[in-house]
Every structure is written in C-alpha cells, then in structure tokens.
Structure 1
Amino acid sequence: MTESESSSTSSVYLSERFARRLRRRRGRERFLRGAGIGAVVIALGMLAVLFTSIVLQGDSAFLQTRIGLDVDVDLETLGVGSAEPESLEEGSYRSLLHQALYDRFGRPDSREARDQLTSMVSSQANHRLRDRVLSNPDLIGQNRRIWLPASSEVDLIAKGAVPRDLAESDRLASDQVLDWMSELRDAGDLKTVFNTDFFTSTDSRKPEVAGIRGAIIGSALMLLVTLVTALPVGLAAAVYLEEFAPKNRWTEIIDLNIRNLAAVPSILFGLLGLAVFVRLFGMPRSTPLVGGLVLALLVLPTIIIAARAAIQAVPPSLREAAEQLGASRMQTTFLTVLPNALPGILTGTIISMAEALGETAPLLMIGMVSFISEMPTDFTDSAAPLPVLVYLWSTSPERGFVEKTAAAILVLLAFLLIMNALAIWLRMRTQRRG
C-alpha cells in the first residue's frame, strides 16, 4: 500500500462521518444489551412475585390447629351395648366429642351457642376418634386426652390467616368462639403443629383435613402408564425416521405432521382420548389407565422430536467408523448411535413427563374431575391427579381451600423442579460416561 493510499484510509477512519456511524452502532449495541438485561430482570421479577404470592398464601397450609380434649370413652354415651369391634364401629363418636366439649366449657343454654361450640372441632374428628378406639379398645371406660383437628374457621384464625379483629360476619367465627379459643390457648389445649394430614390424607370436603396423598399416587400411576406407552413408541419412530426411512416426500409429510402435532392444544388430545379410549374401546373414565394413555398421545410428538434431534447430533464419523469395521446398519444404530444419543433422549423424555404432570385440560375431558376420597390402588381405580386436585380446590367456595390450593401448587412445582433437575443430572452423567 502506497503512502497516499494509507493516508486516505486513515482519513476515512478519522472522519466525523465515520465517528458518528461508530457511535450510532455502539449505541444500538448498548440499547440491545440493556433491553436484553431488562427483559431478564422483568421476567425474574415477575417469577419472584408469582412465587412469593404462592408461598405467602400456601405456607399456612403446612400447619394444622389441634384441640386437646379429655374424652371419656363410655359405652353408654357411644350408644352401644358391648365392646365388640362390630358394635364399636357403629357407635356415636360425635356424642363423645360433644360431651367432651360440654365437660370442658359447660353446656350452653341456646341451640345456636351449642352449635358454635361443637363446630370448633372438625366434623371429621369423630372418624379420627372412632379409628383410634377401634385400634385400641383398651380406651373403653377410660378418660384420655386426645388431640383432634380444629374446624377450618378456628384453624385459619389460630394460624393468623384470618385476622381476629375482622368483623364477626367476615371471619366466620363468633366472638364467643374467640373467647373459647383464648381459653383453650391459655390452658395449652390449642396448638399449631405440622400438618401431616396434608401429605397422608386424601381429598375431603372439609379443608382442614384434606390431603394430597391420593392425588400423588394417582399422578404416579398415570405417569407410569404414559412413560411405558410413549417412550418405546416414540423412540422406535425416531430411530426409523432418522436411520432407516427413505428420504422422500412421504417422510417429509410425516415429519411435518409430527411437528404440527407438538403444537396442537392439549384439550384436543383429551377429545381424542374420550372418543377412542372411552367411547370406542369402553375403558373406564377417570382412571390412571385412560389418563396415562391420553397423556401418552400428548407427549409422543415431543419425545419423537427430542429423540430425532439427539440422534442427528451424533457425529457422522462414528457411523462411518462402525460401518468400516464391518458393523451392519442395525448394529451401528443400536450399538453406536443410540448410546451416544442417550443423554438427549433421556432429557427430552423427562421434560415430556414433567409437561404431562402439569396438564389438566385433557384429563378434564375424560372425566378426571370428580371428587375422589378413596386411595387409588391400581390403574383402573378412579383418581384425581395433582393438577386436577388443584383445579377442584381452586373452585371450592370454602375459604380454607385457598391456602390448600397454593400449597398443592407448591408441591406440584417442587415435583417439576425435581424432574428437570433429574434430567440435567442424567444428561451430565451419561455424557461423562460417553
């Protein structure tokens, strides 16, 4: 380059026009960087607000208020003539609880006051008392201190979820009930403990004793059906399309339809399951078997796409090396390609299962929206999975179900985080082995 050309080039870079263009370009870069950072901050802020609101609403659901009563287990009060298990099972345990409350506070004169007093204890407490007496008949004829769950109204006030200084009509508990609660607390007969019922009980019409155990078991059974059904079919389809299918117009059409199915609204899969599994094949509604098959249809395109992407990511040199050593097409696929694609396949499968765990709309279409108080024991028992239980609780009018809904959402989020963490761990572990 001559001296004149070098001087001309330097003058261009030092000109005012070039300096303005450079400043504008750097300004645009700073703007885009700032916009990106701002978007991330806004997203994290909204996520933090959402998570904080759920925690503040649901943390009290992990606590339960219990009332300690001296219960005189008397056959006469029970209304039975013997201590045989058949007779004890038919006894009036509600009368035992009412008598224990009357012994503790005295029997009010008016019926309204008596109803307020007896409503301090959960209406399900008599079943707890019956189970305890049946499991330990030695309680007959004795006076024992028994801790029983309080009603939802008392529970919310005791935990501070409903302020005591609200108007009497707003807190759903009379001033007399507040006085009785204060008397119990001063005597040490009203305490708040960890709510084991939330994890060990099934759904109930009474929010103070409603739990998620049945929903968790139902979700586990349903996901097992989904995994056993969708993974083999999805993996076989991906292997065939990538390794054995001819590259022609028909395979392009199949590939396009698979990608379109991944974007279909989930409720349409529920309609398909209702038409095929329930009406055509006559399978029972509201069961983990049908729910798992419907969710298998939902996640099958995602599994196929993820498996195909993992297979495509395997370097062609590995295939060529295996074929040069004399391996057949089948041996190359199953002994070389699939082991190297395993991290991506596992990750896609687990994320698909997490997607299935959070689905509600397709399950509503096949009738999995009923109130189920029994524990499911197999794939053909009626069940309400955890997302459906969240939906049912969110539509319940009782105030106590507000905190239960938020707590169930926290449990569901915890399962989703665990499944995603498992996907990351399996991917890293299989990659290290490879």
Structure 2
Amino acid sequence: MTDDPLLNLARTKQSRLQQSLTKRRRAERRFRYLGMAAIASALLFLVVMVGAIVKTGVGAFWVTQVRFEFPLSDTTIPSDARQMIRATLRNQFGDVTSRAERRQLYQMISPEAEFQLSDAIASAKTRPDATRLTLWLPAGDRVNQYRQHHAFQSQATNEHSPSSHGDTVAKKAATSQQVNAIPLTQKQIQWYGIWQEQQRVRMAFNWAFFTSGDSRNPAAAGIASAFVGSFLTLLTTLVLSFPIGVGAAIYLEEYAPKNRITDLIEININNLAAVPSIVFGLLGLAIFLNVLGMPRSTPLVGGLVLTLMTLPTIIISSRAALKAVPPSIRDAALAMGASRTQTVFHHVVPLALPGMLTGSIIGMAQALGETAPLLMIGMVAFIVEVPHGLLDAATALPVQIFLWSENPERGFSQLTSAAIMVLLLFLFLMNAFALFLRRKLERKW
C-alpha cells in the first residue's frame, strides 16, 4: 500500500517549515546573545573607566596634616608665620645643618601653612589668655603623596617595631619609594617617620578642594573658582537659550508657513546641531570679543557662546515635543472657539513642556562639559579668586580639568580625576532631573 501523494507533500512542507522555524529561533537567540554581550562590554568599559578615575582621584579628597605647637607673646605678629614654622622645624630636627637639608626640611610643610598660621595668630590676638597655638597644618605635596601610598605599610612597620624607628623604617620606606617613584629623599622619609612615631601626622578631609581656587601648589588647589564660573556661565546660557529656542520652535512649528524658506531654516538648524563646538568658539571670538569688544574670560561671553551652541539642540527637541502633541488637541480647542494663540499657549505648549524641558536640560548638560569653545574666548586663564559677577574673570570646570591634566605633578593628576568625578556627578544629576521631569509631567493619550 502506497502513501497518499498529498499527505507526503504536506509532511514535506511541515518538515521544511519546522526547519525554517528552528533556524529563525537560533538566529534570534544568537542576536539576543550578541546584544547581551554588547551591553556587557559597554558596562565593563564604563566600570573600568569610572574605576580608574575613582582610584586616581579619591586621594585628592584627603590631605595630610602635621600637628605643630607655637608659643605666643605680645610681640608675635601674623607676618612672622613663615619664620615661626621654619624655626619650629629646625628645633624639631636639630641635626639639620646644611642649606640643602634645610630646604628639604621646609618642603615637608605646604606653603599654604603660613597663611593658616597667620589667620590663627590674628584670631588668637583677640583672646588675651592665649599663650600657645596648637594647629594641624597641611604637609607638602610630596609628603601627602607618600602618606597616601605608604600609610598602611608604615603603620604595619610601626606595629612590628615600636622601639626602633630609625634606619629600619627609613630603609624599608626608601625601598617602597623607589618602587612607586615617590619623590622623597631618604632624609625626608626619616623625618616623616619621626612625626609618625610621635603621632603628629593624620589624614583629614580636603575641604580646600571645594573652597579654594586654582593654585600652583596641588595641596592647596581647588575647584571653587571653576565651579562658580561654570554656574554663572550655565545660568547665562539657560536665561538666553531656553526662551529663544522654545520661541523659535513654537513659531516654526505652529505659525511659520511651509515653504522653501522655512525648509531652508530647518535644514540649517539641523546642520548647526552637528557643527563642532570649536566653530562656535571661533564665532564668539570673532563677534563678541573682536567686534563688540566684550571682556575676555568672563562668564557672560562664555554663556553667549554656549547659547549659540545649545540653541539648535533646544529648537530640535522643542519642535519634536510640539509634533508629539496629537492634532486632536488643536482641533478640539479650535472647535470650542479658541484662537490660534490660545490653542498654542493654553493647550499645546503645556502638553509639550515636559519634552521641551528635557531637551533644554540635555542641552545644558552638553554645554557643561564643553571645553573647546571656552578655550577660544580666553577662559583658560589661571584664576585664583572666586568670581562674583558675570564680568569677573573666570574659568569653567572642564577647562580647569584641561589645565590640571597638562601638569606633570602627581598631585595634579589626582586633582584632575577628582574634578572629573565632580563633573560626572553633576552631569548625572542633570540627566536624572530631566528624566524626573519627563516622568512627572508627561501625559499619555
């Protein structure tokens, strides 16, 4: 008995269909695994990058301090602070006689210590009963680097050899120094070991990193001037770019006639969004500085340049938000007798506002991380004082990172990574705020 040909044909087609389904499912699984591998690779690279930045920059948030005691008298004046510190150092280490050794000894304390001692003397003069000052003064940058790299090793060595600090500690520390290339001489390591044995050394949080301006001494350098400069620059950018960008988007989307001119404007706006940021810096240099004669290196000029750069992003995102509003909202408002302006500003814009705000915040976050346009208008100056107005000389946080990255000293390498951590934190907060606004204000139809 032979099989039915139609039944054989159906079985053949079913077999081919089953094989095709099996191949497609395998292809889907491969694609899924490739997607998961891509996400895992991206996350791995992100973790490695952030981990490297944190590992390098976490030391900038801590500073080494040395305890000093200074006698006070009626004749003590704040201008004697440097001499008081140096005299105390010479008294602590009486075997220092040569000029080279004294220079090395003075390098153990940060130059900023004399200013702290001056302020403390001036404050103590208001208290008649003050006869002695006990202060924790910042150590030199090399001592700070050595402390951060060898704190645990030195502590373990001291625990195992409590009575003999001398040459054993110095030799072990000198060996570690050669391995890690910390620029301390053997004599300086021995002095540091004596301080540590006397429990006169400690690690404290580096508040100067957040309260001080730039400095040639990495132990005293901070981001206060750059942070305030970035805040004033972004404030100027927000005040100018948001109303101009949103207004342009409303006109182009709701009022402008659809013709070749508006098409040309739309193409140019899209092209401007892809223009390198340094071009806007050249434009600001040519117009705001050379033609209008505005002051260089000020938050006002920086804000104007960043406004030109962020306007295309805000206009494009605002137009996309307006397009996302259903046409039925406009039709219903017009059918109820509302005018064109009432329809736009009472119904369309409130519904599109979450998207507008999100696009504006993303544009501001992009402006926060820009360096090239600010370099072109002179915001690369060495700024110590914190700016107080839009016309004061200032720098920005990305520019400060750029300046510190060019310095070969290890302390500035830590400051660079620490400043990057602060910048990334603010970028994360701005993007998180944009996401919060979108979810809070967004309406679904």
Do Structure 1 and Structure 2 share a fold, with TM-score over 0.5? yes
Cα distance in 1 for partners of 2:143, 2:409 equals 13
Q: 2:144 aligns with which of 149, 155, 179?
A: 155
- Matched with 2:109 is 121
Equivalent residues in 2 for 1:22-421 (5 A)? 22-73=21-72, 88=78, 91-106=79-94, 108-138=96-126, 142-160=131-149, 164=173, 165-167=176-178, 170-421=181-432
Q: Deviation at 1:31?
A: 2.1
Comparing 142-151 and 364-373, the one that deviates more: 142-151
What is the TM-score when the length of structure 1 is the normalising length? 0.92
Cα distance in 2 for partners of 1:5, 1:293 equals 81
Comparing 248-257 and 124-133, the one that deviates more: 124-133
Letter in 2 for 1:103: N
Cα distance in 1 for partners of 2:358, 2:224 equals 27
Q: Deviation at 1:8?
A: 7.5
Cα distance in 2 for partners of 1:329, 1:135 equals 68
- For residues 263-298 of structure 1, give each alpha carbon's deviation from its aligned partner in whole angstroms, at most 9, with x where no partner exists: 000000000000011111101111100001100111
Aligned residues: 419
Cα distance in 1 for partners of 2:179, 2:55 equals 24
SS in 2 for 1:40: helix
What is the TM-score when the length of structure 2 is the normalising length? 0.89
Cα distance in 1 for partners of 2:286, 2:373 equals 12
Contact 1:66 1:148 survives alignment (8 Å): yes
Structure 1: tracts of 5 or more residues without a match: none
Contact 1:66 1:190 survives alignment (8 Å): yes
Comparing 20-29 and 41-50, the one that deviates more: 20-29
Letter in 2 for 1:155: N
- For residues 94-142 of structure 1, give each alpha carbon's deviation from its aligned partner in whole angstroms, at most 9, with x where no partner exists: 1011012122222611111111111100012111211222334247983
Contact 1:73 1:139 survives alignment (8 Å): no
Cα distance in 1 for partners of 2:57, 2:181 equals 20
Comparing 416-425 and 163-172, the one that deviates more: 163-172
SS in 2 for 1:100: helix
Contact 1:72 1:96 survives alignment (8 Å): no
Structure 1 residues 95 and 169, CA, compared in 2 at 3 Å: closer, same or farther? farther
SS in 2 for 1:14: helix
Cα distance in 2 for partners of 1:110, 1:367 equals 45
Structure 1 residues 59 and 248, CA, compared in 2 at 3 Å: closer, same or farther? same
Cα distance in 1 for partners of 2:80, 2:349 equals 65
SS in 1 for 2:69: strand
SS in 1 for 2:149: coil
Letter in 1 for 2:44: G
Contact 1:386 1:412 survives alignment (8 Å): yes
Cα distance in 1 for partners of 2:234, 2:124 equals 39
Contact 1:64 1:193 survives alignment (8 Å): yes
**Percent identity between the aligned chains?**
47
- Matched with 2:168 is none
Structure 1 residues 12 and 250, CA, compared in 2 at 3 Å: closer, same or farther? farther
SS in 2 for 1:192: strand
Letter in 1 for 2:39: V
Contact 2:351 2:443 survives alignment (8 Å): no
Letter in 2 for 1:123: P
Cα distance in 1 for partners of 2:368, 2:121 equals 39
Contact 1:69 1:101 survives alignment (8 Å): no
Q: Deviation at 1:427?
A: 1.4
Structure 1 residues 339 and 21, CA, compared in 2 at 3 Å: closer, same or farther? same
SS in 2 for 1:263: coil
Structure 1 residues 112 and 433, CA, compared in 2 at 3 Å: closer, same or farther? farther
Contact 2:64 2:202 survives alignment (8 Å): yes
Letter in 2 for 1:131: D
Contact 2:96 2:102 survives alignment (8 Å): yes
Letter in 2 for 1:71: F
Q: CA RMSD in A?
A: 2.2
Contact 1:156 1:400 survives alignment (8 Å): yes
Contact 1:73 1:96 survives alignment (8 Å): no
